[in-house]
Amino acid sequence: MRIAFYCTNEFSCPLPKEIVYAPMGLAEKIVKGLEKRGHDVTFYTPTDSEIKIKKVNCGMISYYRLKNKAMSGGFHDQLQLTIYEQLMASKMYEDARKNSYDLIHAFHLTPKILPFVNLTKTPTVFTLHDPMSASWNKFIKYCPWKNKAHYVSISDSQRKGMPDLNYAGTVYNGMEIERFEFKKKPENYLVFLGRYSSEKGADAAVSVAIKSKEKLKMAGTVWGNGFYDEKIKPYLKKNRIEDLGFLNGKKVSDLLRNAKALLFPINWEEPFGLVMIEAMACGTPVIAFNRGSVPEIVKHNKTGFVVENEKEMIEAIKNIDQINREDCRKYVEENFTVEKMVEGYERVYEKVIGN
C-alpha cells in the first residue's frame, strides 16, 4: 500500500532526548514497521528529523526548535502550533489530490486535520490518543464530513465518549520489549512513573505509600508547580518517598524492573497508559484504579490488580507476591509488541481501502 503518514511537526523524529511525547515515539515504530512489511510509506515530518525513511518536510523545521528563534511573541503558542501543523497537513493533502497515495494516516491531531479530509478522495485514518472530551465532541458533531474519515481507538473504553464515530478498529499501542529487561527478583520499593498531576494520581500514589508504610520511588514531569508543591514536595524523604525527576532510556527500564509493583492510581479515563505495559514487560505487576483502559491492559490477578480505591490498592500491595513476574512479561510479549501494533494497523488499512 502507498501510505502518507503524519503525526506532528511540533517535534522531530526521533524525539529530542529531553522530550516525552508518546504519539511521535509510536509513530516512529509504526512507519518503520510498515516499511519493513513492504509498504511504500511517506512520512511527513520536519527537516530536523533523522529517521531513515522516505520523508517530506516542506522545508519546515520542528516547531520545538523554531519557536524560540523566530516565532516568540504575537499569537498564543497553541494557535501558532495549530497553524504550523496545518501547513504541513495541507501539503500532504495537496499531494494526495495527485493520486499519490492509497491512504492517509493522521496519527494524531484529529481536530486540526479533520477540516482537510473532504479535499481528496483518498481515505483518511485517524488514531485517537485522547479521551473524548465535551469540546472535542462538539467539534466533531458539527463537522459535515466527519464520517468520511475512519477512526482507530487505542482501547475499547476510549470509545465511550463518542460511540457513534466511524471506527475502523481498535489497535493497542505496542512497545520494543527488548528495551525493557526482565527481572525475576525485585527490590523492596513501589514505583510511580508519569506526570505529577491529579489526572495521573501522583498524590494518590503518595497517600497509598504513606498509609502502607512502603518505600515509593517517583519519576516524571511536573505539570504546574502548585500541585507538585502542595501534594508531592512536602512528603519527600521523610516518608520514604523519593523524587528522581525526569528519566528516560535505560534509567526508566532500571527503575521499573527493580520495583515490586507499579502504582497507577489514575483519576481520569486513561485511553491507554504505556507505562503499564512497560512495567509488565520488566516483570513488574501493575496495581491500578479501575478507570479507562485499565481492565483491558492489566489482567486482574494475573499481571497485577485492578482496584477501586486506595484501600483496595493497599490490600493489593500486601498480596503482590501472588503475581508471577514471568506471567507479566509473557503477557506483554503476546499482546503489546510493536509487531502486534503494526499488524493491527495493516488490518485497518486493508479494511478501509477495501471499503
How far is Cα 175 from Cα 145, in angstroms, rounded to an integer?
34
* Angle at the Cα of 129 from the Cα atoms of 79 and 53, rounded to 5 degrees: 85
- Please name which of 89, 93, 80 lies closest in space to residue 8, comparing C-alpha atoms: 89
How far is Cα 14 from Cα 339, in angstroms, rounded to an integer?
19
* Angle at the Cα of 154 from the Cα atoms of 152 and 155, rounded to 5 degrees: 115
The predicted pLDDT at position 74 comes to 47
Please identify every stretch of the chain with a pLDDT value under 70, giving residue numbers as ranges: 68-76, 134-135, 355
Contact call for residues 101 and 122 (beta carbons, < 8 A) = yes
Domains defined for the chain, CATH in brackets? 2-174+337-354 (3.40.50.2000), 177-335 (3.40.50.2000)
Q: Is the pTM of this model over 0.95?
A: no
pLDDT digits (tens, 9 = 90+) for 54-105: 999 999 999 998 876 655 554 457 888 899 999 999 999 999 998 789 999 9
Name, in order, each residue with C-beta under 8 angstroms of 112's C-beta and a sequence gap of 6 or more. 82, 85, 86, 89
pLDDT digits (tens, 9 = 90+) for 150-195: 999 999 999 998 888 899 999 999 999 999 999 999 999 999 999 9
The predicted pLDDT at position 72 comes to 54
Contact call for residues 193 and 275 (beta carbons, < 8 A) = yes
- The arrangement of strands across the sheet holding 124-127 comes to 55-56, 40-44, 2-6, 103-106, 124-127, 149-153, 167-170
